[in-house]
């Protein structure tokens, strides 16, 4: 009998090649890809062939199927976490998925219970197991010191959770912020004095008295007064407090592409200013700025005799 050879129809892609290409796309886009991304990359692929390749990768546990506002997403599964989750039951996998979706902002156990519909005792047991496997970690949030949020073990917590550079062990570093405030104002003052001593025209003096947030950031870094790495956003936060205190002003100008400290083609400039008039004595007291001044009276819930701000002002 003559040997019969099966020849693949020309133009029909190899299923293995399709699966490998989908995995390559998922690696290029770690947050996930949609059907439209696959379709744009392989326009000649039939919908049935695309569905078969995706279903096979899902059944092999190589892809995760997620859902967001734009529809379904396909994402490469973390092989390390997959190996550690091997042998876990469906409830433990569900809790892990919920925590993973929360990202670096974390999620409270109450919200995990709401999304999973599992009893609190069961959730606490699962969380303890996942922590023991070093798949997740508990982080104290500055928003609620007595509550912990859970996130994946290898994630760096978001600033909204840790408080950024201004917090240490959930305590606000008021002295550190005050030192930064003084040093930033000192730098802006020295910049303004240098521009006045140059004896240029008033317009040139004014323009040269401005400093970018990058210049202030560089000055603070060179001082070495911070034990943590400060970002440009941190320094701009301090500079904004100077603006609120009437010690500085800010302007925004257009910047060339590649200019240090520029964002979206713009750069922020700051300069120190002196108050035109000194505030009156009443304004300097806590009562002069108190938002509940009208509700304050002796014997009431808000009273001068129990006000901690008045007591601190009198001690000063």
- What does CATH list as the number for 174-272? 1.10.10
pLDDT at residue 69, as a whole number: 57
pLDDT at residue 60, as a whole number: 79
As a whole number of angstroms, the distance between CA 141 and CA 158 comes to: 10
Helix (H, G, I), strand (E, B) or coil at 49: helix
CATH topology of domain 81-163: Arc Repressor Mutant, subunit A (1.10.10)
**In the chain, which stretches have pLDDT less than 70?**
1-12, 67-70, 78-88, 144-145, 169-170, 257-259, 261-262, 275-284, 316
pLDDT at residue 199, as a whole number: 76
pLDDT at residue 40, as a whole number: 85
pLDDT at residue 10, as a whole number: 47
The residue ranges of DSSP E strands in the chain, in sequence order, are 63-68, 71-76, 136-141, 144-152, 167-168, 171-172, 211-212, 248-254, 266-272
Q: Which residue has 């005799």 as its token pair?
A: 305
pLDDT at residue 261, as a whole number: 65
Helices 213-223 and 174-197 pack at an angle, to 10 degrees, of 120
Token pair belonging to 295? 């509700």
As a whole number of angstroms, the distance between CA 15 and CA 295 comes to: 75
pLDDT at residue 184, as a whole number: 92
pLDDT at residue 185, as a whole number: 92
The residue extents of the domains of the chain are 15-77, 81-163, 174-272, 289-314
Query: Bridge partners of 150?
Result: 107, 138
232 vs 43, 264, 284, CA distance in Å? 44, 15, 32
For residue range 129-173, list pLDDT tens digits in order.
888 888 889 888 777 667 788 988 888 787 777 777 777 766 777
81-163 and 174-272 share one fold: yes
- What does CATH list as the number for 15-77? 1.10.10.10
């Amino acid at each position: 009998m003559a040997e019969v050879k099966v020849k693949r129809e020309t133009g029909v892609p190899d299923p293995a090649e399709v699966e490998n290409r989908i995995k390559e796309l998922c690696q290029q886009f770690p947050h996930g890809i949609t059907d439209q991304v696959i379709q744009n990359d392989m326009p000649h692929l039939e919908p049935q062939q695309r569905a078969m390749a995706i279903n096979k990768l899902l059944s092999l546990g190589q892809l995760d199927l997620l859902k967001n506002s734009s529809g379904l997403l396909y994402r490469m599964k973390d092989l390390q976490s997959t190996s550690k989750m091997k042998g876990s039951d469906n409830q433990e996998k569900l809790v892990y998925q919920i925590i993973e979706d929360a990202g670096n902002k974390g999620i409270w156990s109450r919200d995990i219970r709401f999304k999973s519909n599992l009893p609190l005792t069961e959730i606490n047991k699962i969380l303890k197991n996942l922590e023991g496997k070093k798949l997740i970690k508990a982080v104290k949030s500055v928003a609620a010191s007595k509550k912990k949020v859970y996130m994946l073990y290898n994630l760096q917590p978001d600033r909204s959770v840790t408080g950024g550079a201004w917090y240490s062990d959930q305590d606000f570093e008021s002295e550190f912020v005050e030192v930064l405030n003084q040093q930033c104002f000192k730098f802006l003052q020295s910049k303004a004095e240098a521009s006045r001593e140059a004896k240029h025209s008033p317009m040139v003096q004014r323009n040269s008295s401005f400093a970018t947030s990058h210049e202030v950031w560089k000055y603070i870094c060179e001082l070495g007064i911070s034990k943590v790495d400060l970002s440009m956003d941190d320094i701009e936060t301090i500079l904004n407090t100077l603006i609120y205190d009437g010690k500085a002003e800010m302007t925004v100008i257009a910047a060339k592409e590649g200019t240090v400290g520029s964002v979206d083609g713009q750069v922020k400039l700051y300069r120190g200013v002196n108050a035109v008039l000194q505030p009156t004595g009443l304004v300097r007291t806590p009562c002069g700025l108190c938002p509940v001044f009208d509700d304050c009276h002796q014997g009431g819930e808000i009273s001068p005799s129990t006000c901690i701000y008045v007591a601190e002002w009198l001690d000063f």
